[in-house]
Structure 1
Amino acid sequence: MEPVWTTIEEARRWASLFLTKHDREPRVADLLLEHVLGLSFAQLLAAEREEFPEEHRAKFVEDLYAHAETGVPVQHLIGQAHFYGREFLVHPHVLIPRPETEELVVGVLDFLKEKGMTNPVVADVGTGSGIIAITLACEHPSSRIVATDLSDKALAAAAENARLYEAEIDFYQGNFLEPLQGKHLDCIVSNPPYIARSEAAIMDDTVLNFDPELALFAEEEGLAAYREMVEQIKTFQLFPRLIAFEIGHLQGEAVKQILSRQLPEYRVAIKKDINQKDRMIFAVKDS
């Protein structure tokens, strides 16, 4: 049955209840409303008693039904995702940014500030949509940022986002650190694929069915990407002052062991996210 409402407030209430009944996050209703009406959340609240624009009704209902029925992420429906105070273009060929990754970026920025590194060379390995590289470029503009990805479609998205924020980044296509052989790197940061394929059965459909498999899954119970990157760091003799990885919340000790065994000159620490789950690894080389 076609939903009936008159005001924005009524549309918002109906959509939230509809999503809840379909076991979806009701906050999606607000995100879709903000996008289709061109309003911020504060503006949306202020306009609740206004009449809902009839020309936007069909699109709003269509997208809401699509999310409820298929799990298609709201970020794909609106074509953008929020990260570190900015909006980034996203599509099905790149991983949708997660809030936890912001904490990885904060850790890198804190390190650069603490060490007084004014013009470091920072590599974002497996850049995807470019959120880490672009955020670092914007927040620490004296840095030189390089970024790699195996996917040409991901690199195209990252380059488009870089143009959007006028971020100067050198992009390279290739497997992790292979394109950066022979280059001097002060920091390496990466949010690689780290989900074990055995976990697919318990994953949310909004992730499993829509995020690119290349950005999600890794062999060896999710540890293959870390092993390969650490081996490349050693083989290519890159040895940056900082290696910063995002990890799965059960992978802390395993990734720490990979780094400690292959790169014994590094001090390796596991850091927790805001939810007190192991989420980051920082490996520091003092000399």
Structure 2
Amino acid sequence: MNNTFTTIEEARRWASVFLRENGRETRVADLLLEHYLALPFAKLLASGPDPFPEEQRDRFVRSIEQHAETGVPVQHIIGTAPFYGREFHVNENVLIPRPETEELVVGVVDMIRKWDLDNPKVVDVGTGSGVIAITIALEQPDVNMIASDISTEALQVAKSNSHLHEAGVDFLQGNFLEPLQDQAVDIVVSNPPYIAYHEKETMDDTVVDFDPELALFTDQEGLAAYQTIVEQISGWERKPYLIAFEIGYQQGEAVTNIIEGQLDGYDVEVRQDLNGKDRMIFAVLKEK
């Protein structure tokens, strides 16, 4: 398709049509234009009649064509993704943060403030890009924030994001809660892998081909990570006040059963996201 556009509006129209014809979301055109032209969306629309800067043409066209042909996420092209009003580094070694995970963070921060805990120790299990741990640390600076991940590459991204946002987070490498050993923890929060392997064939190529498999898929019909984390907690002498999980929308009952089957003394609540789907588990210790 001809890409001899001269104005920003023509570039937007060309990219949208090209993406649609290749079965991709047209919103990608706006995201890439916002990035390459350094314009917020409202300003982008207002600047439609303006000449498209020639020095950005080749990069913009290549990015549109690359996404259309391969499905590479626009966040990987740009190198960043938004979360909780901040920009975070992302690459092929970490999941791209989703808006639903922001709701998990809101729930945890609200409980920290409600309980008025004194320098609570909070651990983000399987931190990936670090968005959960860093956001909690920034929103609630008095927490003692720890983040763990088994992936060296993911921890490098998380540490880069922590440095970028000057967040006070300690990073540990290991399998879920294993590196914490006998440390007493007040709150455990995690968005672990929760997709069953057989679901891979039904998923979009922008996810399957570019997000790390380690952070997406797990055994036991997507429940293995929850099982392992809860088993690790069951061995602790002092149990956390709060266990907060992101879950798949059909996993509320199963994850509740895992917690109630191995841990005594918790009130377990399944919460829905803004789309009305089960998305979070909050297990609160009855006697804090």
Shift of 1:18: 1.5
Structure 2 equivalent of residue 42 of structure 1 = 42
Shift of 1:118: 4.4
* Residue aligned with 1:24, SS: coil
Structure 1 equivalent of residue 108 of structure 2 = 108
* Residue aligned with 1:182, SS: coil
Is there any run of 5+ residues in structure 2 with no aligned partner, and where? none
Provide the C-alpha distance between the structure 2 equivalents of 1:202 and 1:135, rounded to a whole number of angstroms.
Answer: 32
Provide the C-alpha distance between the structure 2 equivalents of 1:187 and 1:99, rounded to a whole number of angstroms.
Answer: 22
CA contact (8 A) 1:268 1:281 kept: yes
Structure 2 equivalent of residue 163 of structure 1 = 163
Shift of 1:156: 0.6
1:206-226, CA deviations, whole angstroms, 9 ceiling, x for partnerless residues? 000000000000100000000
Pairing 1:6-85 to 2, within 5 Å after superposition = 6-85=6-85
Structure 1 equivalent of residue 186 of structure 2 = 186
Provide the C-alpha distance between the structure 2 equivalents of 1:125 and 1:279, rounded to a whole number of angstroms.
Answer: 17
> What is the TM-score of this pair, normalised by structure 1?
0.98
Provide the C-alpha distance between the structure 1 equivalents of 2:90 and 2:179, rounded to a whole number of angstroms.
Answer: 24
Pairing 1:225-264 to 2, within 5 Å after superposition = 225-264=225-264
Provide the C-alpha distance between the structure 2 equivalents of 1:265 and 1:118, rounded to a whole number of angstroms.
Answer: 22
Shift of 1:236: 3.1
Provide the C-alpha distance between the structure 2 equivalents of 1:226 and 1:83, rounded to a whole number of angstroms.
Answer: 24
Residue 269 in 1 paired to residue 269 in 2?
yes
* Residue aligned with 1:102, SS: helix
Provide the C-alpha distance between the structure 1 equivalents of 2:203 and 2:238, rounded to a whole number of angstroms.
Answer: 35
Aligned AA (2:106): V
- How much is the aligned-residue C-alpha RMSD, in angstroms? 1.0
Shift of 1:286: 2.9
* Residue aligned with 1:210, SS: coil
Q: Note closer, same or farther for the CA distance 1:218–1:237 as it changes in structure 2 (3 Å cut).
A: farther
Provide the C-alpha distance between the structure 1 equivalents of 2:211 and 2:238, rounded to a whole number of angstroms.
Answer: 31
CA contact (8 A) 1:148 1:172 kept: yes
Provide the C-alpha distance between the structure 2 equivalents of 1:27 and 1:239, rounded to a whole number of angstroms.
Answer: 45
Percentage of pairs with the same residue: 61
Shift of 1:107: 0.7
Aligned AA (2:220): E
* Residue aligned with 2:195, SS: coil
Shift of 1:45: 2.0
